[in-house]
A = this chain, B = another copy of it.
Amino acid sequence: MITLASDFGSPYPAAMKGVILQRTDARLVDVAHDFPRQDVRSAAFWLREVLPYFPPATHLVVVDPGVGTDRNALVLRAGDHVLVGPDNGVLLPAARQLADDFDLERYVVDETRVESPAPTGSVPPGEPTTSSDPDGPASNTFHGRDVFAPAAAEAHEVGPDGLETLEFLEPATEYVSFEFPEPTLSTDRAVGEVLVVDDFGNAITNVPGSFLADRERITVDGQQVPVGDTFASVPVGDRLATVGSHGYVELDVNRGRGDEAFGLEPGDQVGLEPADENGDT
């Protein structure tokens, strides 16, 4: 099984699928292709939340603002899973979730040794693309198709225990690190950050859900809102704080958009405090 995730929209992911299906008959499952454009942090968050629900698989990830530069391409073995993508940190939170540190192997892709796909047809529609490296991939702008897709297909074919047999892989001696911001927590105050806003408009913070335990109301940047177990615990259109499916404090609106009601977007700081149960702060 190979999962695919990118910020490509459409139809570029289909070209990656064609390239993969030239080399393997693995099942393909889309994770998402509408990650916020070139936003490594959002993609890293969603991959960490979603990939652990999959059985062992090869995960192809292309959110790659540095495409065509000298940033590396990585292949990681994380337990029984394999992750393939650019060396910009996007793979790390998911990899750490999928395996303990001692069960991680990191490889760099030698792009000159990956066999780029050859489309059917002897005359390319436009012209061969220029490349600063004649041994490099076919294009400087679509490594998803020309580097990552073939690397993922080959990695899938050899499996997590066969990565060292792939001639285009070399052990990685260094790689770009990545950490989510940590909240500042005390018993009566949490200062966190909105990590992502989901498609429902829920503003997902980095404050652990336990901050809401046994509380009926909190203040969010000074404004009181009820704490609810479910969206439907408040009237339609009302705001609430809840513990989302990721285990973090979320700021939501029942059948509405929390990001708009709270005026929050990814990266915004947010301060949470317990509120008087009578509705006074």
Give the residues in chain B near A51, CB-CB below 8 Å.
18, 120
Interface residue? A14 (CB, 8 A): yes
Given the known interface contacts A32-B14, A50-B11, the answer about A141 and B37 at a Cβ–Cβ threshold of 8 Å is no
A245 touches B124 (CB 8 A): no
- Asked if A263 is at the interface of the complex by the 8 Å CB criterion, the answer is no
- With A209-B127, A243-B129 known as contacts, the answer to whether A11 contacts B37 (CB < 8 A) is no
Q: Is A164 at the interface (CB under 8 A from chain B)? A: no
- A14-B30, A31-B11, A209-B127 given; A132·B54 CB < 8 A: no
Query: Contact between B255 and A209 (Cβ–Cβ < 8 Å)?
Result: no
Are A10 and B130 closer than 8 Å at their CB atoms?
Answer: no
Determine which of B97, B141, B232 lies in contact with A230 in the assembled complex, contact meaning CB atoms within 8 Å.
B141
Chain B CB within 8 A of A69 CB: yes
Copy total for this chain: 3
* Interface flag for A126 (CB, 8 Å): yes
What residues of B have a CB within 8 angstroms of the CB of A245 in the complex? 129, 138-139, 141-142, 145-146
Mark out the residues of chain A between 39 and 87 whose CB falls within 8 Å of any chain B CB in the assembled complex: 46, 48-55, 65-69, 79, 81
By the criterion of a CB under 8 Å from any partner CB, how many residues of chain A are at the interface?
A: 92
Is A159 located at the chain interface by the 8 A CB criterion? no
Which of these binds chain B: A1-9, A105-113, A218-226, A265-273? A1-9
Q: Are A199 and B98 in touch, CB under 8 angstroms?
A: no
B14 and A52 contact, CB distance less than 8 A: no
Alpha-carbon gap, A48 to B124, bound state (A): 10
Q: Are B141 and A244 in contact (CB under 8 A)?
A: yes
Please tell me if A22 contacts chain B, counting CB pairs below 8 Å: yes
